[in-house]
Structure 1
Amino acid sequence: MLASLLPDAAVAVEAFEDDPNAVLFPEEAALLARAVDKRRREFTTARICAHRALSGLGLPPVPILSGDRGAPHWPDGVVGSITHCAGYRAAAVALAGRLRTIGIDAEPNEPNPQGVTAQITVPAEEGWLATLTRTLPTVHWDRLLFSAKESVYKAWFPLAQRWLGFEDAALTIDPGTAATTATPARGTFTAKLLVTGPTLDGGELTGFDGHWLADRGLLLTAVTVPHLDGTPVPPAQAAP
């Protein structure tokens, strides 16, 4: 599922259940010393996905510790992102020479908890969000907006090294195949930064492009940024 949202330069590994026999590196296990069982299971499986993704790049698995604001600390020369929600864990990585950054997120295809949508929405998003919620109810667009903003933040932070609030980006989501009877539904989104972005290759980063998927009761979103002096890499084609 996730691989279909990412360019060929990225390696994605996902899991839909936890392996009770999975073993972390000691340094990773130490991060769970006080964790409850739920946190232990989701962290462990997501880290195993990350190890396997590194192997997919031809690199040896190494401990993936937590850096600033809890972001995964990847080996030198690697960019990546990790996500987990009920029934799903995943990691995506790429060589830093191929992509500048990756952000991924997974959420259940369910409405946002009460009060969340109002906290994450900016005025520019209210119109399309109301329209899609009314006309295409099979996708919970409020939760998809939340997921897309999470992916944007995960892609932003390694580049800017500073916080990006929900109110600091205005998103537009293309309904894609949700407008048809196609299953699964998939489409794209754009994010316009409402704050000053970092400078990349002599130009200011002003936004992000992403892809989304609704399938198996889940919402997945992904953002990648190619090197601005290279040719953008399109997402891989979904398997027939």
Structure 2
Amino acid sequence: MTLPAIPSALEQLEEISLARALAAIAPNGVRTGCRTIRGGDEAHLLSAEAQSIPARQPAMRRASGAARWIAHGLLAEIGVGDVAILRAPSGAPAWPGGVTGSLAHDDEIAVAAVAPLDHIASLGIDVEPALPLPDELLALVAIPADRTDAAPLHLAGRILFSAKEAVYKAVYPLDREILGYEDIAVDLAAGSAVTKTGRRVRLVYCIVPRVVVLAFVEAGADQH
């Protein structure tokens, strides 16, 4: 078994910067974390987790291992230990009872967020490089109802894309509806989104050193 590599000084600095940015935007009750994906991170997958993840590509398994390593640590902080985070048939991670959470990664960074259900009904997180979104992808993602004027112009499309990915992760466990980008309207200034089913979701994001969007549905709130 290959052991995880030791992070470089630059990777450590990026992790610290992103961890601080995530902690600053996370709502009360939500714990967040991040990790640079490194060679050997697949070793962090518990046996049951490894069996539940069909992807055999080394890069995908490393990313899954990095994300679950973060999540295991966050769960331990709220008193939930030794729990395998299996991949459900839908592709989403299956969280232990009483907890909601979300995992994400790009090619270099993995992120995770968890919260007790008495604080947050559902969570979604997404991470992207802090680069402009290609025009052809923006044309698929944006709809007239979206409002992105509050975001930096060169990153507005990227944040919009990440927001819709995070919103989908947050609402699917609640509504079990397959949504396209056209089914989610985002207002970055208001920090909210609404789906075609009427589900309302809160949004927060950071853009240094990565674009990360956290979408959440508050426990007990009237969301429709």
After TM superposition, the score normalised by the length of structure 1 is 0.76
Deviation at 1:64, TM superposition (A): 0.7
Partner secondary structure for residue 115 of structure 1: helix
- What is the alpha-carbon distance in structure 2 between the residues aligned to residue 211 and residue 8 of structure 1? 12
- Residue number in structure 1 paired with 2:219: 227
Q: Quick one: distance in 2 between partners of 1:34 and 1:191?
A: 31
Per-residue deviation at 1:228? Answer: 2.8
- In structure 2, what is the Cα distance between the partners aligned to 1:8 and 1:132? 23
Mapping for residues 185-200 of structure 1, pairs under 5 Å: 189-193=191-195, 195-197=196-198
In structure 1, what is the Cα distance between the partners aligned to 2:127 and 2:55?
A: 25
Q: Measured at CA, do residues 18 and 61 of structure 1 come closer, stay the same or move farther in structure 2, by a change above 3 Å?
A: farther
Match of 2:36, as an amino acid?
F
For each residue in 1:81-131, what CA deviation from the matched residue of structure 2 results, as whole angstroms up to 9, or x when unmatched?
001112211111111122101111110011224521111111223xx55x6
* Kept after mapping to 1: 8 A contact 2:67/2:105: yes
Match of 2:192, as an amino acid? T
Alpha-carbon separation, structure 2, partners of 1:77 and 1:155: 16
Alignment of 1:4-19 (within 5 A): 4-18=24-38
Secondary structure of 1:219's match?
strand
CA distance in 1 between partners of 2:208 and 2:221 (Å):
34
Q: How does 1:40-59 map to 2 (within 5 A)?
A: 40-59=61-80
Letter in 1 for 2:116: L
From 177, 182, 195, the equivalent of 1:162 is 177
Q: Which moved more, 1:73-82 or 1:18-27?
A: 18-27
The answer (yes or no) to whether the contact 1:156–1:164 under 8 Å persists in 2 is no
1:116 maps to which residue? Answer: 137
Aligned counterpart in structure 1 of residue 111 of structure 2, from 90, 105, 108 = 90
Question: TM-score w.r.t. structure 2 length?
Answer: 0.81
Query: Runs of 5+ in structure 1 lacking a partner?
Result: 175-187, 198-204, 231-240
Count, aligned residues: 201
The RMSD of aligned alpha carbons is 2.2
Residue 165 of structure 1 and its aligned partner are, at CA, apart by 1.5
Matches within 5 A, 1:61-210: 61-125=82-146, 128-129=147-148, 136-137=152-153, 139-174=154-189, 189-193=191-195, 195-197=196-198, 205=199, 207-210=200-203
Deviations 1:152-209 (A, max 9, x none): 11111111112122111211222xxxxxxxxxxxxx632132x224xxxxxxx4x212
8 Å contact from structure 2 (residues 101, 122) kept in 1: yes
Over the matched positions of the two proteins, sequence identity in percent amounts to: 32
In the TM superposition, what is the alpha-carbon distance from 1:73 to its structure 2 partner?
Answer: 0.3
Find runs of 4+ consecutive structure 1 residues off by over 3 angstroms.
31-34
Change (3 A) 1:229 1:120: closer
Gaps of at least 5 residues in structure 2 are: 1-20
What amino acid sits opposite 2:220 in the alignment? Answer: L
